[in-house]
Structure 1
Amino acid sequence: MTTAEILKKVRRIEIKTRGLSNHIFAGEYHSTFKGRGMSFSEVREYTPGDDVKFIDWNVTARFSHPFVKVFEEERELIVMLLVDISSSSLFGTQQKSKRELITELGAVLSFSATTNNDKVGVIFFSDKVEKYIPPKKGKGHILRIIRELIALEPDHTGDTNVGAALEFLNNVIKKKTITFLMSDFVSKPYEHSLQLAARRHELVGINVYDKYDKELPSAGLVQVADAETGQMIWLDTDSKAARSGYAAAYNAKDKYCIQAFRKSGAALLQVRTDEDYVKVLQGYFKRK
C-alpha cells in the first residue's frame, strides 16, 4: 500500500469514526468511564440548596457570610488498545475483514477518548508484541494510531499470543487504565495473564469474528492455508466430518474465551464482521 493510499484510508476512517464518536459515543463514554475522583476547583458564595458539608469555614469567617467549596471530577484517564494484527485478522468474507473491523473500532474508541481529554496508547501484537505507542493526547496522535492500525504488518508469523500483550501491558503501564483488547482470540492460552491484567486495569475484550470462522462453507475439495503458520493442506469442505471438526474447533476456542473472561471479571463483547458494531458498543455503554 502506497503512502497516498494509506493517507486516503486514514481520512476516510477519520471522517466516519470521528462522526460516530462525537455524535453517538462521547456522552456514553464519559458516563461509563468515570474519572478517578473529585478535585478541589474553587470557592463560591453559598446559595440555597448547596450541601452544608461543603461550607469552607475559614473563608466564611473571613467574609462573614457563607462560602462553599466546589469540586470537579478528575476526568483524565489512560485508554489502552491491545490490537491483534496476526495473519488470521486478515480473514473476512462479509462486509469487511476482521482487521478492518478492528481498525474502525480502534478509531472510534480513540476519538471518544480524546474528546474527553484522555490519553490513548496502543500495543500491537501477533505471536509477540510488534509495536508499542505510549499514551498521549491530541488529534495528531490519534491519526498516527489510525495509520498504524491500517498499515502495520507483523514481523513474525506463528500462533497468536494474547498473553504476551497482556503481560507487556502490566509491565509498561503502572497506573490503572481502560483497556480494550481486540482480537479473534485464536491464540495460545491466556487465562492467567488475563486474570492478572483484569486486577489492575478495567479490561474489555472485543472478540471479532467472521461468519465463516464458525462454519465451513461448502466448496468441494480446496487447498487452504493456515493463516497463522502458512501451512497448506487439501480440505474436502463437503465432508461432514471436516465440517463438524471445523465447527467443534471454533466452539472450543469460543468456550475457552468466554470462560476466561468470566473468571477474570473482565467484560467481553462479540462483534461479527457483518454486524453493526455501533449497536454493540452502545449496548455495552448503557449496561455499564
Structure 2
Amino acid sequence: MRNRAALSRAGVAPDRAPSSEADDPRIHVSLQGMRSLEAAARAISFLPNQPARSALQGRHRSRIRGRGLDFEELRDYLPGDDVRAIDWKVTARAGTPYVRVYTEERDRPTLIVVDQRMSMFYGTVHNTKAVTAAEFAAIVAHRVAKQGDRVGGVVFGDSKIDELRPGRGRAAVTRFLTSLERANHRLRADAPKMVPMPFNDVLEAVARLATRDHLVVLISDFDACDAVTERRLGAIAQHNDVVLGLVGDPSAETVPTTGQVTGSDGAKQALMDFADSKVRDGVAQVTASRLEQVIEWQKRMRLSVLPLTAAEDTLGQVVRLLGGRVR
C-alpha cells in the first residue's frame, strides 16, 4: 500500500494504521488540517515586544521592528501626553510645548518560505520534517492575516517553486495553503530521484518579492547551503526582518552506535552500518556543520532562529518557543 510505503520511506513507525487509503497526517498535510490551526494561531506573535520566554528574545535576537510609524501631525501638548513625544525644536520656536503624533503603519507584508524538498520527507518519531514545516507555515499565515497584514509565500520542492505575492485576507491564506498542500503531496515513497532545488535559487525568488520592510520567515532544514547562501540571505536581511525556522529530527542529533539503517531517496537505497565509526562520524559531521552554519548566521546577521523538531506536536512547540499559550 502506498501509505505504508510512505511511512517506511519517512522512517515513522506505523504505530497506528490509517482507516483508509487517505494519507496519514504525519506524512502529508491537508488543507483542512492546516485551516484547523487558525484559532490556536492567535497565541503567537512576531511583534518586537516578546515575552521573556520567547525565542525571539535573548542575546542574538532579531532586529524585528514590527510595523513602522507614520508621522501624522504636530499638536499642542496636553496633560497626560508622553513627554518623550515632545518636539523640542518646535517647542523652542513656538514658546509652548508641542508633541509629534504618529500612527502605526497599517500594513507589513509577510513572506513565508517553505521547504518541501525530499530532504524534508523524513521523520522518526512524530511527523516528517515536511509536515512540521507546513504546519508552522500555516500557523504563521493565520496569525499574520489575523493582525491585518498581507500574506504571501515561496513554496518549493525539488522540481517546482511557487511564488505568491503577498495578499490580504482569507483568500490569500487559502491560496498559500493550497500551494503548500500540493507541494507536500508531491513527496512520496516512489518519487523519482532528481537534483534538489538549489536553496540559492529560492533566495533569488525571495529577494524579488521581499524588496524591503517585509517579515520573511524561512522554514527549512537548510540542506545544501553554502557561502553564496549566506551572502544572499544577508542581502535580504539588510532591508527586511528575517526569522529562520530550523526543522530537525532527533535522529540527526543522536547517532546510534549499533545496528543498521536503510536510507532511501525514493529511487535508491543505501545500508548504513552504525557499528562502523566512519559512518557514525560522517552522519554526525553533516548534522553538526549545518547547525554551526545557522548559528553563525544568527550571530553575524542578528537573525532569529526558531529550532523546530519533527518529534513533537508543531503547535505546542511553536507556542512554547514564542512565549504564548493555547487556551
**TM range, smaller chain:** 0.7 to 0.9
Matched, 1:191 2:230: yes
| Residue-pair matches, total | 265
Which of 145, 158, 163 is residue 114 of structure 1 equivalent to?
145
Q: Deviations over 1:95-145 (max 9, x none)?
A: 111111111111111111111110111112345761111100111221222
Counterpart code for 1:201? N
| Equivalent pair of 2:111/2:210 in contact (CA under 8 Å) | no
Aligned residue in 2 for 1:245: 282
Tell me how far apart the structure 2 counterparts of residues 281 and 160 of structure 1 sit (CA, whole Å): 30
Cα gap change, 1:226/1:11 in structure 2, threshold over 3 Å: closer, same or farther?
Answer: closer
Aligned residue in 1 for 2:12: none
State TM-score, norm by structure 2: 0.69
Give the alignment of 1:117-196 within 5 angstroms: 117-126=148-157, 130-152=161-183, 153=186, 157-189=194-226, 190-196=229-235
Tell me how far apart the structure 2 counterparts of residues 194 and 144 of structure 1 sit (CA, whole Å): 26
Aligned residue in 2 for 1:12: 33
| Equivalent pair of 2:109/2:150 in contact (CA under 8 Å) | yes
Q: Deviations over 1:223-243 (max 9, x none)?
A: 42247xx54322213323312
**Alpha-carbon deviation of 1:151?**
2.5
Aligned residue in 2 for 1:37: 69
| Equivalent pair of 2:69/2:102 in contact (CA under 8 Å) | no
- Structure number with the bigger relative contact order (C-alpha 8 A, sep ≥ 6) is 2
RMSD: 3.4
Matched, 1:200 2:239: yes
Tell me how far apart the structure 2 counterparts of residues 93 and 215 of structure 1 sit (CA, whole Å): 12
| Equivalent pair of 1:160/1:186 in contact (CA under 8 Å) | no
Residue ranges of structure 1 left out of the alignment (5+ in a row): 58-66, 284-288
| Equivalent pair of 2:122/2:129 in contact (CA under 8 Å) | yes
Q: Deviations over 1:169-218 (max 9, x none)?
A: 11233232100000001123111111111112111111000011233446
Tell me how far apart the structure 2 counterparts of residues 138 and 277 of structure 1 sit (CA, whole Å): 23
Counterpart code for 2:234? Q
Tell me how far apart the structure 1 counterparts of residues 74 and 136 of structure 2 sit (CA, whole Å): 38
Residue ranges of structure 2 left out of the alignment (5+ in a row): 4-21, 51-64, 91-97
**Alpha-carbon deviation of 1:258?**
1.7
Give the alignment of 1:257-276 within 5 angstroms: 257-275=294-312, 276=317
Cα gap change, 1:237/1:84 in structure 2, threshold over 3 Å: closer, same or farther?
Answer: same
The range that moved more, 145-154 or 118-127, is: 145-154
Aligned residue in 2 for 1:25: 44
Tell me how far apart the structure 2 counterparts of residues 183 and 102 of structure 1 sit (CA, whole Å): 7
Matched, 1:209 2:248: yes
**Alpha-carbon deviation of 1:247?**
1.1
Aligned residue in 2 for 1:279: 320
**Alpha-carbon deviation of 1:49?**
2.2
Matched, 1:96 2:127: yes
| Equivalent pair of 1:126/1:157 in contact (CA under 8 Å) | no
SS at match of 1:176: coil
**Alpha-carbon deviation of 1:245?**
1.9
| Equivalent pair of 1:110/1:120 in contact (CA under 8 Å) | yes
Tell me how far apart the structure 1 counterparts of residues 68 and 142 of structure 2 sit (CA, whole Å): 20
